[in-house]
Structure 1
């Protein structure tokens, strides 16, 4: 636990009794104002007095004096976490497609074969790498021109500290104003572009929530991961069993059905490669753990992969069977409404993320 350090004005300090009550120490004991008043303060705890040196300097220009202090404390370590990623940018497209095509056959292609081949080929050309990264604030509006302006500011600051001339200080101030102006303009452009892309009210709330830096996460009940997963599995299975029982053979059906006057569908029609290409291009680029390759990569290689995808879909329409690998999903429990009891599993609903195909 880090010791307390407070720097401020004595107007925030009611009395010495408050310091004694919380076991605090005010280290400034000499006047800090031109009228011989001690108006500024530096407070630490009595137990952790990590102040090494304190100096009060009269700069003659302001009413208050300058307080300079040396603090003996360690710099907090940067937060780090481990991530797994692939170097997709350096992926050799020709080699990837060549290896994938050599393992695929349009005559014997199946959903399981396509998924496993794409996953194995990607593991070969862009294997998963585990690395440790430092947690930094996200700034999507940060650009190279801002980075270059900051580099120039550091140069002008070093020149001013070395020379001490007023002209170099003015140059530093001018460069600082340039950076502030760049940051404001880039932030405005970024936020404006994001809001212009909004098409619905729901997207507007989601985008605004994200731009304000609010993190949305669904709370989960306390417990071990494996045990909690089994509890959710049992709860969701019981819910499905109740629904099946309710709509069973004992459920009364209407005596009469209105006859349809429209066209009747008696069979599925085969889809074409052009249709599949259109659907893939129009789909969301989201990727989940069950996808053999990133969705963005699949959309990029659509022309090469669409013949296999089309055959799998037409085979499913012909046999009336959806491949088992496309029925698997990653189920995430989400709280139905904010404020509900998190310990009651009935207040959660299952959200399934399927394979993109």
Structure 2
């Protein structure tokens, strides 16, 4: 996208939304009106890198925004009285594209402008496969005069093609094509269009599509369950057709869980199938039905003006455009005000990140840290430091243990398991593909079978193998991770396994509290930091209780 923005700060939020909505990969801006004392953070767009060439005085200035994931480097920048230019090289699909965004002030000498541009293009385009020069030249290509003739001579000398053939700056009394697009090969541009960016500037923007397949792969894929046609009655009907009593005939707990999980997934896949979608832009919940209707009206008004060219059509379009822009700002402000007032802190930040309003804390791992086997080995082979623990004799601190009696796990009731299901807050999907939301839908009919499996594990001193499989998410602890020690692994266990853990935890916690077995006298020990000491004492004590009550 190439656009004479005429002060990026004045309409930055609208421009930012438009760039995200259109899934722009490279944005070239002229007349940014930025100066070196203005920090780039004030014009930051999520998932983009910004490169600037500013004028020291008011006006002018050019800039590039390049989406994260696209390899690029800065080639040249030059701000003079006759031409302002910024050159970068973009590499996509093993091909190099030399891109330039330029701005020629209206009073600048045209011949001197092309002399400067000739020198830059000669020096910079040789190491690249294609050259693309875009920006505001203030030369109207719709008329034949001395300026357009000099432009044609420049194009012929470098064998460039100028693609823009329609007005790019439209006022009530003029239509000129001064924002140009020059390419070394017209074949690489699959299509282009001239669009109005919600009245930010009196210039129109050029959006053109380069035939580079790698760029389209930058879109994110999201997997979700489609509940749009979900019928709870039909779902329960198919769920109850399964012979769930078959679980009672099995003698292996892993077979029970496999039967339970596979049938739950099959039923959900039938009524709420898993789908993959390509996400090219974040949601805009403030765009209500009325807002979308007004945007279509604005688009129709603009098409009518382009078709007729009358002053009345222009005035009507401008009035509709300004009204729609104000309506969008009001709706967005009202939505964000609701989010900030009625959501908790964590939910608020998650919503703001999903809308690309605040920066994501996503850090990509280098290739040598993405191998799953190496990652697994690195964390399995962490050295064990047990010597200091044995020297503490921690269990000697608990005098009440000997007189507290024998602890034994007992079975739980369906009502207790239902309480545990409502207590789980995490919506993460474990290795079995089942979330707690899915369990809440089916537990009305399958609660007794889930309870049977949990009680089978308790009475037989077993822990299912399938519930030990975790999805491990390595989170970087630094902005530039270089080794496995810079990662913090997060393990996501199956949601059903948490029900067994909660049943065991509740019984242990009750026993410990009733017998007053947790003493804080050992908190004065200096071997381990205080926050970690209390955790370790609990873990070691509970481990001893489990060992005595569950030898298997």
Q: Same fold (TM over 0.5)?
A: yes
1:280 and 1:236 map into 2 onto residues whose CA distance is 31
- How far the C-alpha of 1:330 sits from its partner, in A, is 0.8
1:8 aligns with 2:124: no
Aligned length in residues: 343
Seen in structure 2, the aligned counterparts of structure 1 residues 108 and 222 have a Cα distance that, compared at 3 Å, is same
The residue number in structure 2 matching 1:313 is: 454
Question: Would you say the 8 A contact 1:122–1:293 is kept in 2?
Answer: no
1:235-282 superposed Cα distances (whole Å, 9 cap, x missing partner): 11111x525x5478x545148424359998934454444443344345
- How far the C-alpha of 1:4 sits from its partner, in A, is 3.3
Seen in structure 2, the aligned counterparts of structure 1 residues 297 and 219 have a Cα distance that, compared at 3 Å, is same
The residue number in structure 1 matching 2:239 is: 100
2:380 and 2:400 map into 1 onto residues whose CA distance is 36
- How far the C-alpha of 1:345 sits from its partner, in A, is 1.5
Question: Would you say the 8 A contact 1:54–1:68 is kept in 2?
Answer: no
Seen in structure 2, the aligned counterparts of structure 1 residues 278 and 190 have a Cα distance that, compared at 3 Å, is farther
1:242 aligns with 2:381: no
Seen in structure 2, the aligned counterparts of structure 1 residues 347 and 57 have a Cα distance that, compared at 3 Å, is closer
- How far the C-alpha of 1:199 sits from its partner, in A, is 3.2
Q: Which moved more, 1:185-194 or 1:293-302?
A: 293-302
1:12 and 1:332 map into 2 onto residues whose CA distance is 58
2:167 and 2:327 map into 1 onto residues whose CA distance is 37
The residue number in structure 2 matching 1:143 is: 288
1:57 and 1:141 map into 2 onto residues whose CA distance is 30
2:358 and 2:267 map into 1 onto residues whose CA distance is 38
Question: Would you say the 8 A contact 2:102–2:137 is kept in 1?
Answer: no
The residue number in structure 2 matching 1:266 is: 407
Question: Would you say the 8 A contact 1:288–1:355 is kept in 2?
Answer: yes
The residue number in structure 1 matching 2:162 is: 51
Gaps of 5+ in 1: none
2:419 and 2:100 map into 1 onto residues whose CA distance is 61
1:199-230 superposed Cα distances (whole Å, 9 cap, x missing partner): 35x666555555524233243232495xx212
- Higher RCO (CA < 8 A, seq sep 6+): 1
Seen in structure 2, the aligned counterparts of structure 1 residues 53 and 165 have a Cα distance that, compared at 3 Å, is closer
Seen in structure 2, the aligned counterparts of structure 1 residues 27 and 134 have a Cα distance that, compared at 3 Å, is closer
The residue number in structure 2 matching 1:229 is: 372
The residue number in structure 2 matching 1:333 is: 474
1:74 aligns with 2:156: no
1:280-318 superposed Cα distances (whole Å, 9 cap, x missing partner): 345336242524445433333342333333333333333
1:43-87 superposed Cα distances (whole Å, 9 cap, x missing partner): 989756221578999999999976365765433267256665553
1:87 aligns with 2:226: yes
Question: Would you say the 8 A contact 1:23–1:45 is kept in 2?
Answer: no
Question: Would you say the 8 A contact 1:55–1:68 is kept in 2?
Answer: no
Seen in structure 2, the aligned counterparts of structure 1 residues 2 and 138 have a Cα distance that, compared at 3 Å, is farther
SS in 2 for 1:352: strand
SS in 2 for 1:350: strand
Alignment TM-score, normalising by the size of structure 1: 0.72
2:117 and 2:446 map into 1 onto residues whose CA distance is 72
Alignment TM-score, normalising by the size of structure 2: 0.50
The residue number in structure 1 matching 2:417 is: 276
SS in 1 for 2:286: coil
2:180 and 2:315 map into 1 onto residues whose CA distance is 27
Question: Would you say the 8 A contact 1:4–1:44 is kept in 2?
Answer: no
The residue number in structure 2 matching 1:115 is: 261
Question: Would you say the 8 A contact 1:195–1:207 is kept in 2?
Answer: no
SS in 2 for 1:179: helix
Say what the alpha-carbon RMSD is for the aligned residues.
Answer: 4.7
2:432 and 2:169 map into 1 onto residues whose CA distance is 67
Seen in structure 2, the aligned counterparts of structure 1 residues 277 and 185 have a Cα distance that, compared at 3 Å, is farther
1:54 and 1:161 map into 2 onto residues whose CA distance is 14
Seen in structure 2, the aligned counterparts of structure 1 residues 185 and 266 have a Cα distance that, compared at 3 Å, is farther
- Superposed, 1:147-226 pairs within 5 Å as 147-200=292-345, 208-211=352-355, 212-223=357-368
Question: Would you say the 8 A contact 2:418–2:447 is kept in 1?
Answer: yes
1:72-112 superposed Cα distances (whole Å, 9 cap, x missing partner): 54332672566655533224433433333323126458333
